[in-house]
Amino acid sequence: MQAFIITFASVIVGGGLAGATVVGLVNSQTAPPENSPANVSNPVLEYGATK
| Measured distance CA(19)–CA(26) in Å, rounded | 11
Specify the stretch interacting with other proteins by CB under 8 A; choose among 2-10, 15-23, 30-38: 30-38
Q: Per CB under 8 A, which region of 7-15, 21-29, 38-46 contacts other proteins?
A: 38-46
Q: How far is the CB of 23 from other proteins (least distance, A)?
A: 25
Identity of residue 28: S
CB of 20 to other proteins, least distance (A): 28
Between CA 34 and CA 1 the distance in angstroms is 50
